[in-house]
Structures are given as structure tokens and as C-alpha cells.
Amino acid sequence: MKRTKLFAFAAVVAALCLLVSCASKDAGGGGAAAAYEWNFDNAGAGTDRWELTPSEFYQYTGPINLSWDDQTFGNGALKIDLDFSDPANQNNWSEPKLKIDFLRAVNLRGLGAVSFDFYFDPSLRNMGQFQTQIYAEYTGGKVQAISPISSSGETLENGFVKVKAVIPFEPVKAFLTNIRLSLVGSDTDYVGPVYIDNIRFDPLAQ
């Protein structure tokens, strides 16, 4: 009898551990880890519900396409084909946007930044740079932050440059149900693909 009760208790503990583990998974699914991360390595998930929001673009009218790619760098990533060749798009702030609706609301408590790996080919532009912005609304307020994307980083064998983009935001106790992520062209004539990987919410800097 005692042994039966012991096994039953162990089963309950195991179930609780499984629930805690599942609760720590990313809001976007796709098998990402605890800090709300999207690594795009799941071919079946594709863009993992990240999508373009053309109706919200600001001063960007060029062609654009979002897809999933696992060939360019040997692992899954978002591929965004951009075209800033039209002079109308070569202004200080030309902003196409991505967005995601979370499967489970993201609790911002203890979080202080969004970061991602950004890949671009410097040979595809003659001028300008990229910036990035996040925007999300919650009951009673909003999260909005802008950060430049460095033009210097790790140069890969295929000519692309890998840069870590980090967008710090003001700490807030709130839950988000979606977020916008912008790739801002600043006075650039870039034409071609850029790639985004490992999007995540990061803890507050200590």
C-alpha cells in the first residue's frame, strides 16, 4: 500500500514538473526556449506565425516578400526580400513591418529588451543603414523603442554580415498579446534579401 502511494505521489510530481516546463516555453511556439525565443529551426513551423503588415508600412512602397529559409546559413531563419531602389523609399525613415500574435500572452515582468541576429549583404547597397523598432500596445500603455543596427559585424564566407541587434525598452509590468518588429531603411538603396534569426525577449540588464 505504501509503495502504491509512493508511486502515485511520484506520478503527481512528474506531472507538475511537466506543466512547469511547458509553461516556460516561448509564447510563439515552434519549440523555442524559456525567454520567449523564436529560432526558426522547425521546418514545419516555417515563419512561425511572423507575418508582414503592409497596411502599417510607413513610407515604404517597394516590393517585399517574407519567407522561411534554411539554405543560406545552414539553419532556419526569416528571409525578407527588400527593395529600396525607388527614390521615394530612400528617405530617412522607410519602414516595413513584421508582426506576430502570441499563442500565449508575454509577461514583460523582468524583461528589458528584444534582440535578434540580423544578416545583410553590404554589396547590395551603396549608401545608408538599417534601424529597427518594436511597438506593442497593452491595457493602459504601449511599448515602443528604436535602435540602430550596426553596419559592422561578423563577415561570413558568403559575403553576408551578421550583426546582433538589441532593442532595449523601458521595464513595465504588463502582458502583450502581439508585437510589431520594423526594419527601417535610413537613406539606403539596399535591394535584396536580409535575414532575421533568434528573435527573443531578453531579461533586464543587471
Which CATH number covers residue 167?
A: 2.60.120.260
Report the pLDDT value the prediction gives residue 139, as an integer from 0 to 100: 86
Contacts of 22 (CB under 8 A, 6+ apart): none
Domain range spanning residue 54?
2-203
Positive or negative, the CA dihedral 37, 42, 45, 46 is positive
Q: Which residues contact 129 (CB under 8 A, 6 or more apart)?
A: 148, 149, 151, 186, 187, 188
Q: For each of the chain's 206 residues, which pLDDT tens digit applies?
A: 444 444 444 444 344 333 333 333 444 433 333 458 999 999 999 999 999 999 999 999 999 999 999 999 999 999 999 999 999 889 889 999 999 999 999 999 999 999 999 999 999 999 999 999 999 999 889 999 999 999 999 999 999 999 999 999 999 999 999 999 999 999 999 999 999 999 999 998 76
Give residue 206's pLDDT. Answer: 61
Are 134 and 196 in contact by the 8 Å Cβ rule? The answer is: no
Burial class of residue 175 in the structure, from the number of CB atoms within 10 Å of its CB (0-12 exposed, 13-18 middle, 19+ buried): middle
Residue 118 and residue 195 in contact, taking contact as beta carbons nearer than 8 Å:
yes
Number of domains in the chain: 1
